[in-house]
Structure 1
Amino acid sequence: MKARVLIALSPVLLSLPSLAAEPVRADLDGDGKPESISVKWDVDQGGFTLQVGSASVRAKTEDPNEGGVEVVDLDRGDKWKDIAITTGQTDSDHRVFLYGFDGKTLKPLGEVHALTEAKGNGIILSDSWMGFWNKREKYVLDRPAWKIRAVPQPLYAVGVECKVKQSFPIVQGRGDKTPVATLAQNSRIQVLAADTSGRPGEEFYLVKSSTGLLGWASRVDLEGKTEGLPFAG
């Protein structure tokens, strides 16, 4: 299974050329007059400069290659349109930089891993690939502050199944080694949710055994002692 890092935002996406080598025009501030929008990519310095009219802003990126530029309507309940600049060529360095324009200045709204879903209701859902599952994060647009804000989740939904190839225990807590059950070899388990609050690669997963018991397993145990997890190929 391969991660999908960007899907169409129709009907709230207004199509523009994927590379803004030439200026394009769109009404961003709702005054009925389209603004001239251009992006200059600086491959040597690893970044880009976005210009709308006489206003400009520069951003640094991990991937210096030219990316995509789109105008999006993050909230159809207001008069504003926003700019999404996509950078990166792989899921690991993929980022989307979001900007608003208040008629005078460009406003950096924030950045997300991907615009997986943006239906124009002020909510952005952003997926990032975690090896065998997509981590879905939620952001809300705070238009008065001209910012997007992450909505914290205690756990992230996983929802995959796999087969135990080497028996191992699931435990009562992420920092507790007290076993709830020992997963039987060749049994099937469900990986329900993930705790990603630790360091990358050290996630803990809430697992449901074939007998209906719940406990926590480390990423190391899941990757090394099960088979059938949908790793990207």
Structure 2
Amino acid sequence: MGAVAVWIGLVGVGGSLVSCRDNALDDLSVDDSQVFITNYDRSVNFSQYRTFSLPDSVVVASNNQSRISLTLAERQVINRVTENLTARGFQRVGKGQNPDLGVAVIRVNNRFTGVSALPYSPFFMDWWGFGPGFGPGFGPGFGGFSPYYQSYYTFQVQENYWLIEMVDLRNGPVNSGTGTNANQLRVIFQAQVRGDGIFDEQSVNNIVNAVFNQAPYLQAAR
């Protein structure tokens, strides 16, 4: 995205984040857990754009596959994105009307499984009483012995979040290389929304509003 400014916002974050109590994060509400990350290209003057195209459905991206979806919550997100852009002076047009901006709403649902090695740590060997650091260990059940670890372990990571992207259609593709890297559309704005409750019908309107509140530079020429 070139020169990029990154803003990270937390909605409704209270003192529980800096609490010294054990398990302070357990007190976070659904709203407190939501994080908004917005990136934009600092070299872009958004007032040069007047129109945008936004599909009537959401792209659901899952690992290397994608499909089209339109649940009630997803329809609400599309409508609220449209309302916010219109309020900023942009006009929604069809993709055949040469729009200045291409806007996409994406629901990311990725799951990864991996394998990682478990490194040897002499600290743990002493902690269990195998070495000189803690003498005979924790008692007759553990003294003089060390735990056995598998040399590897598997892990699984799942991520679910909203992604809103804008690409520059007014100035055309960017020739950034050869093959699959040639003639790519330039991404000039991107927003991620992560946390609990972000796909709930009662929350999505506030979520989209929070994204645009964090991006005051998204203004068309008046």
Please tell me the TM-score bracket, short chain as reference: under 0.3
TM-score under structure 2 normalisation?
Answer: 0.25
- For the pair shown, the structure with the greater C-alpha radius of gyration is 2
The structure whose RCO (Cα within 8 Å, separation 6+) is larger is 2
Scaled by the length of structure 1, the TM-score of the pair is 0.24
Higher relative helix content: 2
User: Whose strand proportion is higher, 1 or 2?
Assistant: 1
